[in-house]
Structure 1
Amino acid sequence: MQIPNNQVPENKLSKNLLIAAPSLRDGCFDRSVIYMLEHAQKQSSIGLILNHPTGKSVGQLIASDTFSKLAHLPVSYGGPVESDQLHFAVFEWSNNSLICSTRISAEQAIEAMRKRENLVRAFAGHSEWTPGQLHEELKNQAWITAYSSKASLNNSLVEDFWAESLREISPFHHILSLTPANPTLN
């Protein structure tokens, strides 16, 4: 079977998705879908894990009047870097591209929530790779690249977002999406 080549080329990975291959089992990135904020092969790469909820909301973590209008927002685990820091991100679909503004203030997050086309998210931490590290991981097939879509913006909190993201790429990737979370239990 020939693997389809409709994935995002590495040089266009910024503003698109990085999906953990079923074989990637490191605990932190298992079944992750990451929105890539920045990527350049010879520079560090930065992203946010979209589909790892912490089970907490902003209000459970921060008791302050400044954050009261954001209290209901669920907090996702953005990655292992600075995971003790909470920050907000605004996602919007613009010119056929998923745009993300990060590290915005509470006031900016509240203002962004007023626009229906925006999705405001809270993250604990982010994901980061040293220069060349992600390139090597891509070469070793630890990750699958995918174009971001309007659906990815709306479905990122769905429990099975990892499998859904793979299914959207191709029939081959649909088969990969059926990989059980722990294949040793079969």
Structure 2
Amino acid sequence: MIKPGPGTLLIAEPFLKDPNFMRTVVFLCDHQDEGSFGFVLNRAYEHTLNELMNNLDELKLPVFYGGPVQMDTIHFLHQYPTLIPGSFQVLDGIYWGGDFETAINLIRDGSIDVAKIRFFIGYSGWGSGQLNDELKENSWLTAEATKKLVFHRNTDEIWKDALKHLGGDYEMMANFPIDPQLN
């Protein structure tokens, strides 16, 4: 296990029952004493970008449920720091935020690959010490993120692939039933 920090994946342990995070993978963008935040990578939201925002009719892009905090905000991760000003580097090759209008215009004119940008509604947040407590309770497994996992083409496979990324005994966990009592 690695210590949490920017660019860390939080992989929900197989039996975590919290409905917000069951079988999720969260990409941490920041982790400090005051708190932490990131985005759930593998839970598609029921609406597309054009359904959530005005004047984006042609942009029927998927939006992901970033987490239960501030569900009235849109965030994005991308791989275009030189094209989207105001971006923050989270990990080598993975950036958070930046100028939203510029990002939209770059998508519209075909300058960026939509597979290298991902939109989120809301975010996952933890107050001071909260995430560390959850890690001590073994609610999360940690791994270093990769572009392949963050921008995975098949979001339904991210949780399993993240466990496989850890290797060893964790690979077997990918096949555990949600409720072992039903097995």
Question: Is 2:168 the partner of 1:174?
Answer: no
Question: Is 2:77 the partner of 1:86?
Answer: no
In structure 2, do the counterparts of structure 1 residues 178 and 92 end up closer, same or farther at CA, with 3 Å as the change threshold? farther
2:118–2:151 contact (8 Å) kept in structure 1: no
- Report how far residue 142 of structure 1 moved: 0.5
- Report how far residue 92 of structure 1 moved: 5.8
Residue number in structure 1 paired with 2:126: 129
Aligned residue among 30, 33, 37 for 2:22: 30
Aligned residue among 165, 179, 183 for 2:180: 183
For 1:85 and 1:177, the matched residues in 2 are separated by 32
Identity of aligned residues (%): 28
For 1:178 and 1:152, the matched residues in 2 are separated by 18
Report 1:47-62 matches (<5 A).
Answer: 47-62=38-53
- Report how far residue 103 of structure 1 moved: 5.8
Give runs of ≥4 in structure 1 deviating > 6 Å: none
Cα RMSD (Å):
2.5
Could you state the TM-score of these two structures normalised by the residue count of structure 1? 0.81
2:117–2:151 contact (8 Å) kept in structure 1: no
For 1:147 and 1:117, the matched residues in 2 are separated by 23
List alignment gaps of at least 5 residues for structure 1.
1-6
In structure 2, do the counterparts of structure 1 residues 89 and 39 end up closer, same or farther at CA, with 3 Å as the change threshold? same
C-alpha distance after superposition, 1:93-122 (max 9, x if no partner): 99x734222264132344277234971111
Residue number in structure 2 paired with 1:4: none
Residue number in structure 2 paired with 1:101: 96
List alignment gaps of at least 5 residues for structure 2.
82-88
For 2:140 and 2:104, the matched residues in 1 are separated by 31
The count of corresponding residues between Structure 1 and Structure 2 is 173
Could you state the TM-score of these two structures normalised by the residue count of structure 2? 0.82
- Report how far residue 39 of structure 1 moved: 0.5
